[in-house]
Structure 1
Amino acid sequence: MKKKAFSKFALLLAIVLTFGAVATACSKSSNNSNGSASGTPSQSGEAQSSGGASAAPVNLKVWHPLNPNAQAVVQSLSDVEMVQEWEKKTNVKFKFEHPTGTSADAQQQFGVMIASGEYPDVIIWNMGNFQGGPAKLFQDGTIIKLNELIDQHAPNLKKILDENPLIAKQIKSDNGDIYVFPNLKVGDHGKYKTFSGQMIRKDWLDELGLAMPETIDEWENVLRTIKEKKGIFPYTSEKTTLLGSKDSMDFLGAYGIGKDFYLDGSKVLYGPQQPAFKDYLTRMQQWYKDGLIDPDYASNDNSAKEAKMTSGKAAATFGYIGGSLGAWLPALQESNPSAMLAGVQYPVLNKGDEPRFTETGWDYSNTGALISSTNKNPAETVKALDYLFSEEGAMLKNFGIEGKTYTLVDGQPKYTDLIMANPDKLPIGQAMGKHFIANYPFPGPDDDRYNDQYYALDAQKEAVKVFAQFAGNAASVLIPPIAMTPDEASEYAKIMTDVNTYREEVVTKIIMGSSQIDSFDKALEQFKKMGIDRAIEIQQAAFDRFQQR
C-alpha cells in the first residue's frame, strides 16, 4: 500500500517538475524574443528589468564630480529631470555621490575612496584622472571587465563599436579588454570635436584697420598696434594654461611642434626638445618685454583673465566657445554695445600654412562609466547605461523631455524657451544643467544639434566654423587614447611630475626675462637626468601597442 502511494506521489512530482521546466523554457524563450535581451538593439532603447515590470528598482550608487553648470542649479544629478526619466525607463534608482571642492579635491577624495576598499557601484569620471587608468583599477580588483556584459546586455553600444572600429580601438585596452561605458562623438550628429581657440576684440581690429591675424608676424603687428592705440597689455592668459607649459593654449603650435608629446609620422616626439621651441621662447620673451603680454599672466586665475577681457583691459586670449565667448561678449556689450569678440584661426608661422596643432579631441572623450567589483547588479547596470546609447536615450540625454525642454521642428530637436529664454534668467548652460546632461562629458553619445543652439550668439556660430576649419589636420600629430601598463604609468607619472614642474619654472623665467634663452639648454640636460627619454620610450611603446589593437 505504501509502495503504491509512493509511486503515485513520484508520478505527480514528475509531472510538476516537467511542467515547471516547460514553463521556465517558455519564459526564457519569451524573454529572448525581446530585442534588448537577444543582442539586437532595442528600437525604443528601453532597458528591461530582469524581474519584469513589477520588480522593485535596482539601486545603484554612482560617484561622479558634479559639473559647475549643474552645481549652480541642483544639489545632485538625482534632481535633474533627465536622470529621473532615465530611472523610469530602466527601472534603476541612482544615488549620486558628488565629491566636493576643486578638481584636485575630487582627485584626493577619489584616492581615499579607492584606498578604503568601499566602492560605489559606478564611477563616472575622466580616465586620465587616476594613475594607470582603468587597467590599473582592474588589476587591483576595483572594477570589472565589460566585454561579455556588453555582448549580452548592451546592444546599442555594441552596434556602435561593431560599426566603428576606430572608436572600438580607442576604448579598448591593449589586450582587447573594455572597462568603460564611454562618452562619444559618433555619427552624423557627432562631428564637432573642436570647441576652443584664440579670441580677439574684432571691433578693435575693424576700428584700427587690421585683418584677423593668421601668422605669428601678423599677430605681433596686431598686438603692437592695439597696445599703442589702446594703451593696454593686449594678450592675457592664466596660470592653468601657463605659456610654454604642457597645458599652454597659445602660439606654440605655430612653430610646428606640440606643447607636450606628439606624433611625427609614427614617431613620438617631445615638443620642448625640438629646436623650434627656443624660437617660440625667443618670440614670447620679446613680446613680454615689449608689453604685448599681460605681466600678470602667470598668476591670473580664470576670474582675473575674464575680468580683463570683459573690461577692455585685454584684447585677446584663449577661450571656449560656450563658457568663454558666450559669457564674455554679453558682459562686454552691457557697457559697450558695439564691442565684438571673434574666434581666430589657429596660428601658423608662414602665410598659407595650415594649422595642425589644434585643440581637437578624439571620438572618445576619455570620460565614461566604470562598474565596480562590488556591484551586485552588473547586468542591470549595463542595460541602464546602454539605454543612453539608444536613439531614445541619446535624445533624452542631450535634449531632455520632449514638449518641455525641446520640441521637434521638421524632425530636428529645438530647445524651448525654458532653456533658451529661461524664466529664472538662468544662463543657457545652467538651464541645460538643471534639466538634462548635454554640455559636459557623460556616458552616451553627444549630439552636435545641442551645440547649434547652445551657441546662441552669431559670434559663437562663426567661431565654430573658424576653429573646425583645420581640425582634421590634428589627426596626424595628436596621440590617440593610448593605455600604459600600470608599471609604465607609475614610472611615467614620476618622471613627468618632476619634468613639468621644472619646465614651468624655467620657461616662465625665460619669458619674463629673468633668465636668458640659452639657459634652456641646461634645462634640456636636466630633462634627460629626470628621465625624459624614458618617458618618450613609454609613450612610444603605448602608441605602438595602440596601433596593433
Structure 2
Amino acid sequence: MSMYKKKMNRFATVVTIAGLVATTMSACTDKDTSTGSTESPGSTSESKEAANQTPPLTKLSYWVELFPDAAAIMKSYGEVTAWKEIEAKTGVQIEFQHPAQGQLGEQFNLMVASNKLPDVVDYGWNSYPGGAQKAIRDKKIVPLNDYLDDAPNLKALFDAHPEWRKMASTDDGNIIGFPFIREDVTQQVFLGPAIRKDWLDKLQLSSPTTIDEWHTVLKAFKEQDPNGNGKADEIPINIPAGELAFAGAFGTPNDYYQDNNTVKYGPIEPGFKNYLTTMNQWYEEGLLDKDFATTDGKMKDAKMTGNQVGATVLFLNGGIGKYMDLMAQTQPEFKIVGTTYPTLNAGEKPVFGYIDNPVTGIFTAITGSNKNVAGTVKFLDYLYSDEGKLTMNFGKEGETYTLVDGQPKYTDAVLKNPDGLPISQAFRKHIMGATSGPFVQDVRLTAQYTTKPEQQEAMKL
C-alpha cells in the first residue's frame, strides 16, 4: 500500500513531504474558506437537510487501489470475505473499480479530470494538484464536517482523539474523508532493512550496523557463494533509488523533511551527495542490484524466492513473513531478519527511523458526483462501529474467525490457508485489516498476524 512516513531525529520529528502533508493535511490554503470553519464550501444546512431525505443507500461505486499481493490472487476487493460480509449485513452493493497495476497516479489524474467520478475514491488526496483543500474547492470531494452527526462512530473517535481529526483535516479544518486508523503504535512500525540471516551464519558474519559494515557484508555476499550453488548469481542488495534506510544514514532522506523547525529538501543537502557516491561505488562493485531502477514487485518476488537476494528493505508481514512462508517447504534453512537502520559511525543512534502516522494519508472521500452523500456517510460510518470493525479485521464468524472467551481468533482458513497461500495473502483474501480502508485496524489482528520471532524482533529494531 502507499504509506505516508514520519521519521524521527535526535532533535525533532523529521517527516517526508507525504508525512508532513498527512499531518498538516494541506498543501494549499483555500482563500475562499475562513480558517477553522466547519461549514464546507458548497454545503449549507438546506443541502444537508435535503441529503438526509435521500432514500437509503443500496449501491456504491468505490474506486481504490488493488494492492499487488491482492492482485495476484483476485480481480477485485469484491471477492474479499470481509467486504462480502459487509454487503450482506448492510444491504449495500459495492461496485469496486481498480486502476491498472502500476498506473495508480496516472489513472487517478485522468479520473479526476472527468466530470463524472465514482461515488467514493480511496486515495492520498493530498496528491491532488493543490492538495486536498483544492480538491474540495474544485468540488471533487465533499468534506465531512457538516455530516459528522450522521457519523456517530467516527465522531466519537475524533472526540476521543482530537489529534486524529487534525491528521484527517486540511489546514482549514475541512475533514477530507474517512480515514484508515491504526489504534496502536505496534501497527505503525512495519518497514525496514532486512538481511539473509542464513547467509550471515554461513559466512560467520554479524548483522551490519554501519555503512562500512554493510559494505563488508555485501562484498562477502558477492564473493563467497553464500547461496551455495557454485554460481556468481548473488545480488547482495536490492533497494530502490533514494531508499530511506540507507540515504538516512547520511543525514538526509530523498524528500522534504523537518529539522529543528526548518523544512529542508534532502537531495540538495550535502549528505545526499555522499549517499549517491556510496551507492555508485556499490553499483560499480556489483553489490547493488543492476536492475534497481526497474525491479517491480513480481521481479523482486522472483529474485527473493530464487535465492538470489542477500539484503533489501521489507515489510514485516508482506515481506519477512511472506518470503519465509514461501520458502518454508523448498528451503527450510531460509531465514531473513530485520536490522537496525544503519549509521555512519558505530554506536550512533540512527537519525532516521520509520513510524507511520496513526491516521495515514489515505482517505475514502465522498466525491462531488455522489447523489446520496448522507446515505454514503452512514454506510461508511458503520465500518467504524464495533461490528464493522470486527468484520473488516476478522471477516465472517465461523468461517475466518471464531470467538474464544469473547475474543476473535482466526481460523485455519486464514492461518493455515488450504490453498497454500502465504499468510500475508491469506489475510488479503479474507480481511481488509491487513490492507487499508475506512475503518480502525484492530490491535488484536496484529497480535495474530505478526507472530514469527523474526518479525517481532524486526519491529523492535
TM range (shorter): 0.7 to 0.9
Per-residue CA shift, 1:50-100, capped at 9, x if unaligned? 899xx865322222233334434444333433223323444433222333x
Greater CA drift, 409-418 or 387-396: 409-418
Distance 2:216 2:279 in 1: 14
Aligned residues of 2:256 and 2:266 also touching (Cα < 8 A) = yes
Match status 1:169 vs 2:170: no
Q: How far does residue 412 in structure 1 lie from its aligned partner after superposition?
A: 3.4
- Give the letter aligned to residue 258 of structure 1: P
Shift in CA distance, 249/121, structure 1 to aligned 2, threshold 3 Å: same
Match status 1:76 vs 2:73: no
- Give the letter aligned to residue 67 of structure 2: N
Q: 2:255 aligns with which of 254, 260, 278?
A: 260
Name the structure 2 match of 1:384: 379
Q: How far does residue 183 in structure 1 lie from its aligned partner after superposition?
A: 0.7
Name the structure 1 match of 2:283: 288
Name the structure 1 match of 2:300: 305
Match status 1:237 vs 2:243: no
Distance 1:400 1:159 in 2: 24
SS of equivalent residue, structure 1 residue 347:
coil
SS of equivalent residue, structure 1 residue 352:
coil
Match status 1:112 vs 2:118: no
Mind listing any 5+ residue stretches in structure 2 that lack a counterpart?
1-51, 226-231
Distance 2:145 2:273 in 1: 47
Bigger Rg over Cα: 1
Aligned residues of 2:179 and 2:438 also touching (Cα < 8 A) = yes
Name the structure 1 match of 2:446: 451
Superposed, 1:27-426 pairs within 5 Å as 58-99=58-99, 101-104=100-103, 106-150=104-148, 152-186=149-183, 189=184, 191-230=186-225, 231=232, 234-237=235-238, 241-242=240-241, 245=242, 248-426=243-421
Per-residue CA shift, 1:221-240, capped at 9, x if unaligned? 222233332255553325xx
TM-score normalised to structure 1 length: 0.68
Shift in CA distance, 289/70, structure 1 to aligned 2, threshold 3 Å: closer
- Give the letter aligned to residue 159 of structure 2: D
Name the structure 2 match of 1:39: none
Percent pairwise identity? 40
Shift in CA distance, 221/445, structure 1 to aligned 2, threshold 3 Å: same
Distance 1:369 1:88 in 2: 21
Distance 2:92 2:408 in 1: 26
Distance 1:432 1:285 in 2: 39
Aligned residues of 2:145 and 2:175 also touching (Cα < 8 A) = yes
Distance 1:321 1:210 in 2: 23
Aligned residues of 1:233 and 1:294 also touching (Cα < 8 A) = no
Q: How many residues align?
A: 405
SS of equivalent residue, structure 2 residue 236:
coil
Aligned residues of 2:144 and 2:175 also touching (Cα < 8 A) = yes
Shift in CA distance, 403/126, structure 1 to aligned 2, threshold 3 Å: same
Aligned residues of 2:253 and 2:272 also touching (Cα < 8 A) = no
Per-residue CA shift, 1:260-305, capped at 9, x if unaligned? 1111011101112222222223322333333332333334333333
Aligned residues of 2:192 and 2:314 also touching (Cα < 8 A) = yes
Aligned residues of 2:244 and 2:253 also touching (Cα < 8 A) = no
- Give the letter aligned to residue 419 of structure 2: D
Distance 1:294 1:69 in 2: 22
Distance 2:83 2:302 in 1: 35
Shift in CA distance, 255/184, structure 1 to aligned 2, threshold 3 Å: same
SS of equivalent residue, structure 2 residue 122:
strand
- Give the letter aligned to residue 237 of structure 1: N
Shift in CA distance, 430/307, structure 1 to aligned 2, threshold 3 Å: closer
Distance 2:145 2:204 in 1: 59
Distance 2:139 2:278 in 1: 50
Aligned residues of 2:126 and 2:132 also touching (Cα < 8 A) = no
Shift in CA distance, 282/434, structure 1 to aligned 2, threshold 3 Å: closer
Q: How far does residue 411 in structure 1 lie from its aligned partner after superposition?
A: 4.2
Aligned residues of 1:397 and 1:437 also touching (Cα < 8 A) = yes
Q: CA RMSD in A?
A: 2.6
Aligned residues of 1:365 and 1:441 also touching (Cα < 8 A) = no
Q: How far does residue 176 in structure 1 lie from its aligned partner after superposition?
A: 0.8
Aligned residues of 2:176 and 2:363 also touching (Cα < 8 A) = no
The one of the two structures with greater contact order (alpha-carbon pairs below 8 A, sep at least 6) is 2
Distance 1:291 1:260 in 2: 26
Shift in CA distance, 110/184, structure 1 to aligned 2, threshold 3 Å: same
Shift in CA distance, 360/143, structure 1 to aligned 2, threshold 3 Å: same
Larger fraction in helix = 1
Per-residue CA shift, 1:284-343, capped at 9, x if unaligned? 233333333233333433333333333333311122222222232344444432221111
